[in-house]
Structure 1
Amino acid sequence: MLLNKSLNSLFRYEFLPVFYGKRNKTSSVVLAVSRKLNSTMKTLIDSKEYKNALNLFHEHYDRSTDFTRNMAIKACTNLCDCQEGHKILQKLPATSLNNPYIQTSMIHFYSFITNKTPEKALDLYDKMELEPDGIALTLLFSACAQLGNNRAKTIGKKLLEKIYHNVNHESATFNSTIHMLMKFGDLSHAEDVFDLIKKRIFTHMGQC
């Protein structure tokens, strides 16, 4: 693979500055290596070459950054590779666990792959600094519906406010919201969300 050859070529030169006594250049070379790795990982993910992305990640794990770790988690989610995903998550540094982008990818992973542990998704939501995107919202509503306990109801109601303030979510998000509310026995709010869906449909029809 040309991308991998290019990356390996750059890695070989990483230690040349030290060999020639130019240690002051090492940090800039290491930075270039990380950027190249990040760029290659993104190219592979965008091309849906998830297996190749994981192979590259493991081959150069010691040079990985939060960006490459995030790409690796996404690759596991798309491959439905639960075992590999858990291995990566277990090795994440504490700083990575606090990265909001990695937290979002972890929510996707746990919700898509590990349906038996929806509480993991809620744990990650509690730590998130960024607002959850549409996919994360859908998965979080699903996790709340699966749990159905007091904590899930509290978080679910909090997330519900985001639906009321933005009617431009995808249908899957609205459906997941209604499913959660029905699980909670909250028919009143379920009807409110259904009315939002009808309002959204009529608005789109009026724009046609």
Structure 2
Amino acid sequence: MLSNLLSNTFKIQAIINKTLMESKDIDNAMHLFSSIRNKSNYMYTVMFKGLITNNVAEKVLDLFDEMKIERNQFTLSTLFNACAVLNNNRAMKIGKKLLAKMPENYRNDNIISTSAIDMLMKFGDVESAERMFRSIKAKGANIYGALMNGYNLNGESWKCFKIFEEMKEKDII
């Protein structure tokens, strides 16, 4: 009974927080978030996505610094997105540290890998993005897309043709 009540309370808080973010009421969303004692990865991810959407990604890194729980794949992917959006020294330091400490079982997750490659490319670290791309066993179209977009961002669009050919050879497109 008590666990159901707590579970429902967390769900309601997450819905309210998401609604506040969608209404661009960042202050009240932050206030609600700070009042929650046992924050879950889901709560952090909702908050992070809302902050990124509302163009205050720097606050994502502030909350990350306060985070006392182990990040799951959704939170990690959202953190990579925030770092990519910010693309400043702090974001680069945090993003690369998160990537270095990322659990091995996350490295073949298409969503996390796509976010990480996108982040690295936005940092201008083409070599690290390519190294990560090559290490992924089962690549989805989204990972190829992140790599090609990164090549375009970094003035290496000629590399896209090779990647496109690889996608055709592997029947991805």
* Alignment partners' CA distance in 2, 1:89 and 1:120: 9
**2:116 aligned partner:** 136
Which of the pair is proportionally richer in helix? Answer: 1
- Structure 1 residue runs of 5 or longer lacking an equivalent are 1-24, 183-189
RMSD: 3.8
- Structure 2 residue runs of 5 or longer lacking an equivalent are none
Contact 1:104 1:136 in 2 (8 A): yes
Would you identify which runs of 4 or more consecutive aligned residues in structure 1 move more than 6 Å?
Answer: 201-204
Please show how residues 35-184 of structure 1 align to structure 2 within 5 Å.
Answer: 35-42=11-18, 44=19, 49=22, 51-52=24-25, 55-59=28-32, 60-62=35-37, 64-93=39-68, 95-96=69-70, 98-117=71-90, 118-129=92-103, 130=106, 131=109, 132-143=112-123, 145-146=124-125, 153=127, 155-161=128-134, 166=139, 168-169=141-142, 171-177=145-151, 182=156
Larger Rg: 1
Aligned residue for 2:62, secondary structure, equals: helix
* Alignment partners' CA distance in 2, 1:201 and 1:195: 10
Number of residue pairs matched by the alignment: 162
| Cα distance change, pair 181–157 in 1 and its aligned pair in 2 (3 A) | farther
| Normalised TM-score (structure 2) | 0.68
| Normalised TM-score (structure 1) | 0.59
More contact order relative to length (CA 8 Å, sep ≥ 6) = 2
Aligned residue for 2:89, secondary structure, equals: coil
**2:6 aligned partner:** 30
Contact 2:77 2:115 in 1 (8 A): no
Q: CA deviation at 1:195?
A: 1.9
* Alignment partners' CA distance in 2, 1:66 and 1:51: 22
**2:161 aligned partner:** 194
